[in-house]
Amino acid sequence: SIFVLKTDDDSFVNVGSLLMEFNNQDLKGWIYSGKKHNTGSREVPLEKFRDLYQDGFERPKQSCSGAGYVLSRTLLEEIMKFHTDPPPAEVEDVYIGYLVAKLNVRPTSLSKIIAVKPKR
């Protein structure tokens, strides 16, 4: 496959819009797209999630929300070279953002393509 789509079980994907979005891009390059958020900012307090990170783990400045994101296969192959087991963060979306940041790749937005089911 050209890219991998990761979503949570309560996310909805507009597949037609997703395919149209990538139809306009060079799919041979690295793609990391989803709902961007500032994981390195103070809006996400580290204290609240302290048990989810190893000591010394430096959160990336930006990552894509775990609700859903797309990685190109070529980028996924590259970030796996940096993967460690166990990972230094248990929060998968932050960990992927951490790996992608090692390659100086910034996320792009797909916020209108992936939606989260509202909680009742």
For the stretch 62-103, pLDDT in tens is: 899 888 899 999 999 999 999 988 888 888 998 999 999 999
- What is the residue type of 48? K
Token reading at 3: 């890219």
Q: Rounded CA gap, 107 and 70, in Å?
A: 10
pLDDT > 90 fraction of the chain, expressed in percent and rounded? 29
Residue 21's CB is within 10 A of a number of other CB atoms, namely: 18
| Pairing between β-strand 32-37 and β-strand 63-72 as defined by DSSP bridges | antiparallel
**What is the average pLDDT value for the chain, to the nearest integer?**
82
Residue 53 has pLDDT above 80, yes or no: no
Q: Rounded CA gap, 107 and 112, in Å?
A: 15
Give the bridge partners for 37, in sequence order: 63
Please, what sign has the CA dihedral across residues 81, 70, 46, 11?
negative
